Structure 1
Amino acid sequence: MQKNIQGRMVPKQGLLRPALVAAMLAGTALTAPMLTPAFAQSYSFSSVRVEGNATIETATVLSYLKIPRGAEISAAALNDAYQRLVDSGLFESVEIAPQGNELLVKVVEYPTISIVNFEGNKRLKDEDLAGIAKSQSRRVYSPSQAEADAAAIAEAYRLQGRMAATVDPRIIRRDGNRVDLVFEITEGKVVEIERLSFNGNRAFSDRRLRQVLQTKQAGLLRTFIQRDTFVAERLDLDKQLLRDFYLSRGYADVQVLDASSDIARERDAYFVTFSIREGQSFNIGKVDTVSEIEGVDAAEFEAVQRIRSGETWSPALIDNNVTRMENLALRKGLNFVRIDPRIVKNERDGTLDVQFAIVRGEKVFVERIDIEGNTTTLDQVIRRQFRTVEGDPFNPREIRQSAERIRALGFFKDAQVNAEPGSSSDQVVVNVDVEEQPTGSLSLGASYSVSDGVGLNVGFAESNFLGRGQSISANITSGTDSNSASFSFAEPAFLGRDVALKFSSAYRETNNQNAAYNTQSINITPALEFPISELGRLETRFSFAQSTLSGVDDTDSSQILTRDQDRGTITTSALGYTFSYDTRISGVNPKGGILLRFSQDFAGLGGNDTYLLTSGLALAENKILKEEVTVRAVFEGGALAMLGDDPSRVTNRFFGNNKIRGFESNGIGPRDLNAPNEDALGGNLYAVARFEAEFPLGLPEEYGINGGLFLDIGSVWSLDDTDGGAAGGQAVDDAFHLRSSIGFSVFWDTPIGPLRFNFSKALVKQDYDREQAFDLTISTKF
């Protein structure tokens, strides 16, 4: 090898070039009486002498030559021996020269790498690049490997959108046949996606379809967002996401024809266009069930269906019903029964007739389940996502659903589940290949809310603790008016079953948070959660809590609060449950669904507080106007019923905070107007109805900013103790007084989380209520 003017390694020509070796060998045969044609030249060597090898054994050189001693070889064979030695990658240059009965081999070894350096890199750290490059210190330098490393590093930059990145390997020669290998990197700028557009879409706008894609346009926060970086491999996923989007809305014939990408002339931006052929949307037509297995009654299977004529057709709707019917077959002990959905298209009236056929499937068993790629996650975490074990009948549908459950864990960057033939024709092997991704986070930052003021918070969260699939989190927040700490732990498969074991604890103290008193509370709650139906879950829990009220001003505060304070520390021991029913998790209606939640806690198993706390929530949401607008209605309420002689205390009562917008924290509800500070007392009952719509504002969607309108109606009322201690024993007004407000919201999806800015106006209120025209919160998803 030789250096060129840039210092890069280039091949040095040996004595024998492959194309001319025959002629040159012929020329070296000085003892021959006459010049013979190269193809007729032959040689026989009694010895081979190797020169120039310092670290590589002579035997290694001979093993590549493969020239038998004393045997006659042709010029072509000698040329092949030379080429094998060159291709070994061990030598910088190679020369071979026949000298009578001896073959002289001169080699120059490649130098040893002293150090590997990276220069010019800022976006990728040295340790990251060292993991990509295979050239390492104290190993023999290979120009081909250095070039391969340079290409791999450039590819890593390309995946980050830096298409103009260049990587040049350089060497610096040192004494002792050593070199320093330096990768000179020019990172270039990130090539972002300037525009995502669509051709052929009629039913949905470009704005709506962009929300489906994983790839995003570069926008206002392009410095922080990486999904706007062009990655060619991501386009295939986007095409599948688009297809799934249309299929779930009844477009059975949809085709995503192409995804083309064009780079700007300045090579600083991409323009991506998806071509779509929508077809028409179909509804479910006639539905029936037939049995092709003797002795199997189709009526029993038809009874478990949840599909009706007139519904929008979707693959999820069909799969859900097939799964119900196949589960019924398993419960009845019918193995190797398959449900075949047979679809008949009626294009004239836009319907699809569905016939579920009960047929006999092939007798194939699961031989084994092989899992690879899980360096952190335990095998059992992946295996429990399968409803099938070794030896069970093979069900392709169940394997696909298991793959979806594995991906839904969020532990893996990629998860592939495939079935391959086993050791016999009636056996299959299920192969699971996963790629781990980080599942933990550590946060340190500041927060702000109108009610709590400015706060500092430290948080840690891990969703795959020790690779066991367990989640753990801890948070500490210190604010102007409050301090809090919380810890939670969850085991999603307690005792290997679909039972979640949960544990949470929290500590909170407030200091004059819109009230002339302080509170301190601690709560510890273990719980078990498990499914009781396809869409319903039940949580049972035990909770232990202590609360203390202090800092009540005897002069300015209500006598009700003074009496609450005199009760000292209240200890509560309670059993409770929460039932939830959520149709959104089925995926049948991608436009929305309903959520029902009902909970009760009975306190009185210990401690000095006895009550029944009941709360409920009902939510319904749907997307309208070509799914551009989301409408939502939420109905929520709660009741605190004291079962002993003691009245409720302010630390247990409802205040309606964040329930009715347009009012401050502790801004509504019963209030002692005879007390100078008119502190809010809270209520034993509350009820709220909230109606809102979320819609685009016409801004570029890559900014992540939408608008909303809302109307809130509700109240907080009812007290056990209404004696405020005023002259003449005048009672506190704890009657039901309706409040309402309207407002406008701005939703902003930022890298630190979804923010919501509320601008409110109270319509119906009491004179003593405290209004709040502006509020900034984290956007909540039920």
Structure 2
Amino acid sequence: MNFLKALCLKLIILIIFNTVSANSYGGEIIVKGNTRIPKETVITYSGITNTADATSNQIEAAIKSLYTTSFFSDVRIEKKGANIIVTVEENPLIRKIAFEGNKAISDDSLKKVTKLQPKAIYLPSQIHLDSKAIETAYNKQGYYEVFVEPKIIKLPENKVDLVYEIKQGQKAKIKRINFVGNENFTTEELKEHILSKEYAFYRFFSSADMHDPDKLHMDQELLKRFYQCNGYFDFEIKNTTAELAPSRDGFIITFLIEEGKKYKVQDFSVLTNVKGLPKDKLLEKISLTKNATLNLQDIEASEEAMTKYLGANGYAFSEVTHDVIKNSETGYAIVRFMIREGMKFYINKININDNNRTMDKVIRRKMKIEEGDYYSNTLIEKSKMEIINLGYFSSVDFKNKRTAFPDKVDIDINVKETSTGSMNFLIGYNDQTGFMGSVSVAENNFLGKGQAVELVLSKASQAEQAIFSFTESGFFNQPIDSGFDLYTGKVIDKYSKYSHQETSGGLRMQYELLHGLYHGLRYNLKRFDISQSGGSKSLTVQDFSGIAYNSSLGQTFSWGTLDSRIRPTKGVRFTLMQDLAGLGGDTHYIKHQVIADMFFPFIKKHSA
């Protein structure tokens, strides 16, 4: 009896629960079209809990919510009686991602800039963003005509392969470089002192004529330095623009500059709060000359000399800075060198990043500081400029990084490499040798070792020659340039009817003895072979016919104030050359040469 009562009670409760349930929900949510996504997940993301009271607004919100998950390419929700029917079409899975037509940038590099990966859900919006990221990567490499078209290959089981078809187009070169506001230096002069170069057909081995925003920033620094090395300490770059030509095949770069006034040195002094410093000794380290043009290089050389003196005399943590007090009315300036006792920081590690080609040691040997040295802003700035002057990088950036030690810092050197090779062709005519053709190939950072290699071959109807040159810029990791030269050539004189053949080899080295003073040593061995040709009856030719050797040892001292050692446009240079022949061979002599060069613009063009 008690069992029957309990059973009846349970049936009544179940009927009441079903009635309440039916009244609350009025039906069920039916999900169709899902294969990977569980039904429960679809219902949860839809946000629908009450089928009976679901309004059109709630259904519309559920559709948007399901689209937001990115799981589905199509969502439809409809109400049938007491039930809600949710029909979905799932986005396919990406099986494989491939790149086609990408000659300039590798697959691995493109994978780093795109977000979608294999086994991810196919998302049209993300594919669009990844296509733009690929275009941006190509823009940074100088390709502004690039076109990226993503293509989908449908596979069974709702999977796809994604292929990015890339049409690179041509590299956008620098079509023209303009300077506006240059009154004291011509546009051609200023072009010589920046990294960016205008497009030229013979620069196919170089990236100097390719637009690069980082390189443009370096150009601004180099321009400012050039002007300050010529006395223009008010120099400013008002604006720099790089406009893509309407044809999208090149850039027009414009520097808007204000040169300001040129200053001369009125006086200089040393100020310090460090006790016991001998100011007279420090004044001797200053390279400035009164009434001479104010030169940033002289200021830097003075700071470096004082820093070395301080370090050698127990003031290792003193910092040398300078201040230039200018008088625009008189055109004179006073330079104050300030020495203060800085915080005692040591350099823990020096990390060099992004030098994929250039070896670490090539960069490190240009550093004025090493790991374990005390931290010096002066020497760090000098090191940065030395690395820039290598010409191997379009950008050089020093960043300090804290370490676990309170008195130590790490220095990160971030570089961006640029092309260092070149090829030149020459065609000419000479009355003695006839038409001549010449080709030269040069690489200034051979195998990333900082070595310079050059090969020159020339041929004419009456002459031919070959020259090979090799230079090591860090002999035994010291600031010494050393190398060797090989030469062979032959000339036939069609008038005197004799041939002259020369073969030679030489060793050389050069180093900076003092600031601006260079000393070089060299040894040369030459072999001459003079012979008659075409029945020459010249007694002179007959006397000198035969083979002779010349063995000579020489040295060179060179000092100057040139604005550029490679392409000087201003300044003077004095050179003393001495050679002694007779260390073996057939000729004996002592030769002295004194050469004085002065460079100045013959015609000043105020071109913009």
TM interval, shorter chain, is 0.7 to 0.9
Matched residue, 2:17: none
Contact 1:92/1:110 (<8 A) preserved? no
Q: Which has the higher contact order (CA 8 A, sep 6+)?
A: 2
Contact 1:162/1:188 (<8 A) preserved? yes
SS in 2 for 1:34: helix
Q: What residue identity is the alignment partner of 2:373? A: D
Q: What residue identity is the alignment partner of 2:23? A: P
SS in 2 for 1:435: strand
- What do residues 409-449 of structure 1 show as CA deviations (whole Å, max 9, x unaligned)? 12223221222333333222111112223334566x55324
Contact 2:100/2:164 (<8 A) preserved? yes
Q: CA deviation at 1:550?
A: 0.7
Q: How does 1:679-758 map to 2 (within 5 A)?
A: 693=602, 696=605
Contact 1:160/1:190 (<8 A) preserved? no
Which residue among 153, 164, 167 is the counterpart of 2:147? 167
Q: CA deviation at 1:52?
A: 3.0
Which residue among 505, 511, 515 is the counterpart of 1:530? 511
Q: Structure 1 CA distance, aligned partners of 2:534 and 2:110? A: 70
Q: Structure 1 CA distance, aligned partners of 2:207 and 2:451? A: 28
Q: 1:488–1:388: structure 2 CA closer, same or farther, 3 Å change rule?
A: same
Which residue among 352, 365, 369 is the counterpart of 2:350? 369
Matched residue, 1:341: 322
Q: What residue identity is the alignment partner of 1:521? A: E
Q: 1:137–1:364: structure 2 CA closer, same or farther, 3 Å change rule?
A: closer
Matched residue, 1:308: 289
Q: Structure 2 CA distance, aligned partners of 1:458 and 1:414? A: 31
Matched residue, 1:420: 401
Which residue among 34, 59, 71 is the counterpart of 2:24? 34
SS in 1 for 2:290: coil
Unaligned runs of 5+ in 2: 1-19, 55-59
Matched residue, 1:110: 93
Matched residue, 1:507: 488
Q: 1:583–1:289: structure 2 CA closer, same or farther, 3 Å change rule?
A: same
Which residue among 565, 590, 594 is the counterpart of 2:572? 594
Q: CA deviation at 1:562?
A: 0.7
Q: What residue identity is the alignment partner of 2:282? A: F
Q: CA deviation at 1:591?
A: 6.3
SS in 1 for 2:310: helix
Matched residue, 1:609: 587
Matched residue, 2:524: 543
Contact 1:51/1:105 (<8 A) preserved? yes
Are residues 1:383 and 2:364 paired? yes
Q: Structure 2 CA distance, aligned partners of 1:529 and 1:392? A: 27
SS in 1 for 2:23: coil
Q: CA deviation at 1:83?
A: 10
The TM-score, its normalising length taken from structure 1, stands at 0.60
Q: Percent identity?
A: 23
Q: CA deviation at 1:509?
A: 1.3
- What do residues 642-671 of structure 1 show as CA deviations (whole Å, max 9, x unaligned)? xxxxxxxxxxxxxxxxxxxxxxxxxxxxxx
Unaligned runs of 5+ in 1: 1-29, 37-41, 119-124, 623-629, 631-692, 702-782
Q: CA deviation at 1:369?
A: 0.6
SS in 2 for 1:329: helix
Q: CA deviation at 1:394?
A: 0.9
Q: Structure 2 CA distance, aligned partners of 1:261 and 1:372? A: 27
User: Higher helix share goes to which structure?
Assistant: 2
Contact 2:434/2:462 (<8 A) preserved? yes
Q: What residue identity is the alignment partner of 1:308? A: T
Q: 1:96–1:479: structure 2 CA closer, same or farther, 3 Å change rule?
A: farther
Contact 1:583/1:594 (<8 A) preserved? yes
SS in 2 for 1:33: helix
Q: CA deviation at 1:356?
A: 2.5
Q: Structure 2 CA distance, aligned partners of 1:236 and 1:449? A: 43
Q: CA deviation at 1:599?
A: 2.4
Q: Structure 1 CA distance, aligned partners of 2:203 and 2:454? A: 30
Aligned-residue Cα RMSD (Å) equals 5.2
Q: Structure 2 CA distance, aligned partners of 1:130 and 1:414? A: 25
Q: Structure 1 CA distance, aligned partners of 2:168 and 2:470? A: 46
Q: CA deviation at 1:234?
A: 6.2
Q: CA deviation at 1:517?
A: 0.7
Which residue among 110, 113, 128 is the counterpart of 1:147? 128
Which residue among 307, 317, 324 is the counterpart of 1:326? 307
Q: Structure 1 CA distance, aligned partners of 2:506 and 2:449? A: 22
Which residue among 570, 574, 585 is the counterpart of 2:552? 574
> Which sits farther off after the overlay, 406-415 or 345-354?
345-354
Q: How does 1:544-693 map to 2 (within 5 A)?
A: 544-552=525-533, 556-557=537-538, 559-565=539-545, 568-584=546-562, 592-622=570-600, 630=601, 693=602
The TM-score, its normalising length taken from structure 2, stands at 0.75
Are residues 1:52 and 2:35 paired? yes
Which residue among 401, 413, 417 is the counterpart of 1:436? 417
Contact 1:573/1:603 (<8 A) preserved? yes
Q: 1:359–1:549: structure 2 CA closer, same or farther, 3 Å change rule?
A: same
Matched residue, 2:459: 478
Q: CA deviation at 1:554?
A: 6.1
Q: What residue identity is the alignment partner of 1:110? A: L
